[in-house]
Structure 1
Amino acid sequence: MRSGAKVGIVGGVFALVLGGVGYGAYNILDGLGDSGVGGHTSTAADSSEVRSGPVTEEEIADTSKKFLAAWAEGEATVAAALTNNKADAETALTGYSDTAHVTKAVITPGRATGSTVPYTVKATVSYKGATKSWSYASKLTVVRGLTTGRPLVDWEPSVIHPDLAKGESLETGESSTASIEAVDRNGQVLTKEKYPSLAGILDELRKKYGEKAGGTTGIETWINSANADGVNKTLLTLVKGKSGRVETTLDAKVQAAAERGVKKFEKASVAAVEPSTGAIRAIANNPPTGFETSRSGAVAPGSTMKIITSAMIIQNGLGGANSAVACPSQVSWEGVTFHNLDNFSMPSATLKTAFARSCNTAFIKPVAPLKDKRDTALAIEAEQYFGIGRNWQTGIATVDGKVPESSGAETAASFIGQGKIQMNPLNMASVTATAVNGRFRQPFIVAQTLDNRTFATATPLPPGVSGQLKDMLRYTATAPEGTGTQAMASVDGDKGAKTGSAEVDGHATSDSWFTGFSNDLAAAALVQSGGHGGDAAGPVVAEVLRAGP
């Protein structure tokens, strides 16, 4: 069955050449003859013998060429038969022209890496008289069929487009949501082209506030979300609708710094908030598309959690910033032994110096006297004073953090940010902001008055607690022994920090965490498998803070 689109396959490893003539956008299959799709060859892949083992270079080249050529000719059924999921592949390949309205395209393969073949697509999308060019890159992988032994394209929706996921589809038409022009706090226009990490946020703001802001619809190509209440992702705009103006709390200068910062690492995310108001000033991820760890992640925050643990210790009368604490190399809790990094110890320490060196044992041992209350104390502290888990209404979808009640060794682990604790950079930036400001201000990205939503609230920290926390953060960012001093050296103004590393099951290297503040800006970053907090996440936070007030 022809899907209608004519797609040429040119250049690269799989240039189709016959008699010195390269085949372009038309009649590719006719030119291939018996060696093409649907023909019979004497290759091992077509023999009656079921092959096993890894696919060969010849099989990778032959299968990918045939698949792309069939897609090129609009033969969705033939192309789908060359995959290991014929039904799903045929639906997607047919929809490429029938619902996405791609009228023509040129596919240019690159050189294979192992069994994976990259390629670029330069397409034309046409709908009701509107036409627009569309370019992107994707890839396919050739595998051996489990039952047939044939080399087949390992079907994933991303073969069609890299952002397409299972259950999603491409569509071109009149958009279902009104257009917006999102601006930062100073009126500067924010676009996904300039700030790639904002693509998902801008789509979400558009869905929620476009019509309210006076926008109208246009003609676009988008990805239909797999979730009924999800946000469709716009890929191409053929005709712009009238844009409604949506004012955000973002700061273009800080956002640009956040985008630069996360690009330093393969999997990095960062968020920045204003302690005095809770306004979100920046939020960024690398990779910039897909799952947004900065606001939706839920992973162990490591020793950055010691900010809340310190507040719990102080408020429960177990110590203060300048109180002496024991920092042995290890400590036992209900039969489980907890260690400091490299088993270091501090013969003479205060809570402040232990915080600066990130001594794990100093934040476990003092809590033992709480007895029956120790399994709930951290959860109460996190929710009641830091607003964790209180259903934040930021204006976009966010995960608000989780500090559950615990028992046994998990209680001790939670004091150092392990166990069942789940956070993301936005949560930890807010935690730092609360410590600095003395009270929780719920993070938000658009004004509360835009839709009259209810902000989460929390009890202010008792007098003196914020001052001690701030002093501990400052010491960690400035003292010679502070684990955050090196990363924060380039940051000016009143500043403070806390490092963290979190062990993740199955990962050889721990996650790198870092949170800090400078004047009226707090930021937190996570670099997955980045190691020590000051080494990876620290420079990301410093980049953001340098761009602040």
Structure 2
Amino acid sequence: MRDRWPLLMVAVVAVMVVIGVVVLAVAPDPVARSAERPLKPKGGAQGAPEQGRELTLEPLPAESTPGVPPFSPTALPSAPPSTSPVSTSPVSTSPASAPADAPEPVAARYFAAWQAGDFATMASLVDGPPADFADRHRRFSADLRIASLSLSPGVPRQVAENAAEAPFQGVREVTGLGSWPFTSVLRLTRVGGLWKVLWGPETLHPSLRDGGGLRIVETKVSRPATLTRDGTPFPADSRAGDYFSGLSASETRLSLEETPSGKVLLASPEQVAGGIRASVSRSVQSAAARALDGVAQPAAVVAVDVKSREVRAVADTLGAKGAFNGLYPPGSTFKVVTAAALLRGGLSPQSPVACPGTYTIPNGRSFTNADGADHGTVSLSTAFALSCNTTFARLSAERLRDGQLRAEAADRFGFREKPGLSSCRIRPHTTADELGADALGQNSVQASPLCMAEVAAAVASGVWRPAVLTPGADGGASVPLDDGVASSLRSMMAAVVTEGTAARAGLPSGTSGKTGTAEVAGARTHAWFIGYRDGLAFAVLVRNGGAGATAAAPIAAKFLKAL
């Protein structure tokens, strides 16, 4: 046993040598071992480093957030953002280096996540984020119609031991409004040795500070295809839509506004009016349209400039462009044309004429005045002012039987087949009864309100010309009336308003005109009033409205007083 002891010791030593060699062979390099463990403050105990000692921290671990690159020092901005338009990618600049405990890494990761719409990563970097953090961002973009966001971070700076600020610029693309630039600040704080974002609504936009808000406001703006002569839209409810295209067309203008201040931060550009201009005057059109407010029966008001013959207003509830194209018996308003033919035949306003209650054409039909009134012998001007049917039926049968009435109407007042806006006509008479009825604006005589406005304008100016709708347009050949005829008709139409059938209609001073009550088979009479005042000629028709003096003339008064 004693002899074996030395051999046993040799064997033990040999085993220990082998183990030592193996350990040395597999042991890591000391430099590698130092890289595996976190670096510690040199020369001190655990805790805060000593004054003047070097401190090195491990880099922040990268997060595996889809679409957001892990932070690297090269992603830190080194200079203030450019004022040139930003791109749709985060700005990347390269500072020389940043201390490992600086706020830059957190700011860079927050901006990168925000740019990518990664609200989960953003919330993880915020100190105490609200529970609806992600929803606030989504609602902000949805409510304000944000199509895209571009961020341009500036250089973060530490403003206190545990506080830092990262200024940044941004550009949001707002649908329908375009680019919306803004400038804000990302605030950070150090909590438990780690930097965190101090988030508030103003981080989204400075206008949200202290309970402020933002909103998109939609405003409908009229964008008609046709404008009035001065380039403005037609008045609301103009009653002219059948005559002009696109009067009710509009566009929606957008604005981005602060609340509650109402300050406009962004607005869609105002479009330059580019519609076709008509000869219509906005103020005259408005007066015509409002004159028909409350009129139960279909009606129309047409106004024409006496000098240019441009249509200044057309308000129509007749339908089918009845104010221009409709054919209605004009009743006693046609006595203007009949009186012109009689004056041309040798009578004067002072000529004495009979105005009995009833008159019967020899071997023909009878005609009566309104209410059968018998005025005896009066002047032609008075018979015109009182609208004596018997007078004009008799004088026509006696003085105009050779076609003078139709010639006057067709050749000098537009009652013929012709191009133009208005419609009116008269046929040759075959009997004395027809002639008597034509003289009173019945039988074959038919006219539109525009045609009768042209008649009134011809008296006012002494020249008949067709009306036009385009400023400066030439309506065609004009036909002068004899000076004596025109001046006589003016005095007679003035008498209608001062002492005749329209004396109680409330027409303003200076108005001249003629009432008309046109019979309609099987229906109530049409009410008419035509005239002129201050360079504006007009016609009013109320279809089946009754008497012209009580139904049409008051509408004309309302129209003229509104001018």
TM-score bracket for this pair, using the shorter chain length: 0.5 to 0.7
Matched, 1:268 2:299: yes
* Aligned partner (choices 283, 291, 297) of residue 253 of structure 1: 283
1:356 alignment partner in structure 2: 385
Task: State the alpha-carbon separation in 2 of the partners of residues 371 and 546 from structure 1.
Answer: 39
> C-alpha offsets along residues 170-198 of structure 1, whole Å, 9 cap, x if unaligned?
xxxxxxxxx9642223332226xx13422
Task: State the alpha-carbon separation in 1 of the partners of residues 382 and 331 from structure 2.
Answer: 18
5 Å-filtered alignment, 1:91-110, equals none
5 Å-filtered alignment, 1:429-468, equals 429-447=453-471, 449=473, 455-468=475-488
2:502 alignment partner in structure 1: 484
* Aligned partner (choices 510, 515, 531) of residue 499 of structure 1: 515
Matched, 1:384 2:411: yes
5 Å-filtered alignment, 1:308-347, equals 308-317=337-346, 319-333=347-361, 334-347=363-376
Task: State the alpha-carbon separation in 1 of the partners of residues 435 and 487 from structure 2.
Answer: 26
User: How large is the RMSD of aligned CA atoms in angstroms?
Assistant: 2.9
Task: State the alpha-carbon separation in 2 of the partners of residues 383 and 205 from structure 1.
Answer: 35
Task: State the alpha-carbon separation in 2 of the partners of residues 277 and 513 from structure 1.
Answer: 24
* Aligned partner (choices 417, 420, 428) of residue 405 of structure 1: 428
* Aligned partner (choices 472, 478, 481) of residue 492 of structure 2: 472
Is the Cα contact below 8 Å between 2:233 and 2:247 reproduced in 1? no
1:338, CA displacement in angstroms? 0.9
Matched, 1:523 2:547: no
1:351, CA displacement in angstroms? 0.8
Matched, 1:185 2:229: yes
Is the Cα contact below 8 Å between 2:397 and 2:435 reproduced in 1? no
> C-alpha offsets along residues 369-425 of structure 1, whole Å, 9 cap, x if unaligned?
33651xx222211121112335243xxxx3421122112111110100100111121
2:528 alignment partner in structure 1: 513
Task: State the alpha-carbon separation in 1 of the partners of residues 447 and 398 from structure 2.
Answer: 27
In structure 2, runs of 5+ residues without a counterpart are 1-175, 177-222, 252-269
5 Å-filtered alignment, 1:144-223, equals 181-190=225-234, 194-203=236-245
Is the Cα contact below 8 Å between 2:300 and 2:541 reproduced in 1? yes
1:468, CA displacement in angstroms? 0.5
Aligned pair in 2 of structure 1 residues 301, 204: CA closer, same or farther (>3 Å)? farther
Is the Cα contact below 8 Å between 1:383 and 1:458 reproduced in 2? no
1:243, CA displacement in angstroms? 6.7
Q: Which is higher, the Rg of structure 1 or of structure 2?
A: 2
> C-alpha offsets along residues 129-188 of structure 1, whole Å, 9 cap, x if unaligned?
x9xxxxxxxxxxxxxxxxxxxxxxxxxxxxxxxxxxxxxxxxxxxxxxxx9642223332
Is the Cα contact below 8 Å between 1:269 and 1:294 reproduced in 2? yes
Is the Cα contact below 8 Å between 1:321 and 1:350 reproduced in 2? yes
1:447, CA displacement in angstroms? 3.1
Q: Partner amino acid for 1:384?
A: D
Secondary structure of 2:496 counterpart: helix
Number of residue pairs matched by the alignment:
323
Q: Partner amino acid for 1:502?
A: A
Aligned pair in 2 of structure 1 residues 467, 351: CA closer, same or farther (>3 Å)? same
Pick which of 299-308 and 382-391 moved more. 382-391
Task: State the alpha-carbon separation in 1 of the partners of residues 230 and 278 from structure 2.
Answer: 9
Task: State the alpha-carbon separation in 1 of the partners of residues 439 and 322 from structure 2.
Answer: 23
Is the Cα contact below 8 Å between 2:460 and 2:490 reproduced in 1? yes
Task: State the alpha-carbon separation in 1 of the partners of residues 554 and 322 from structure 2.
Answer: 18
TM-score normalised by structure 1 residue count: 0.55
Greater RCO (Cα-Cα under 8 Å, separation 6 or more): 1
Q: Partner amino acid for 2:465?
A: R
Secondary structure of 2:301 counterpart: strand
Secondary structure of 2:483 counterpart: coil
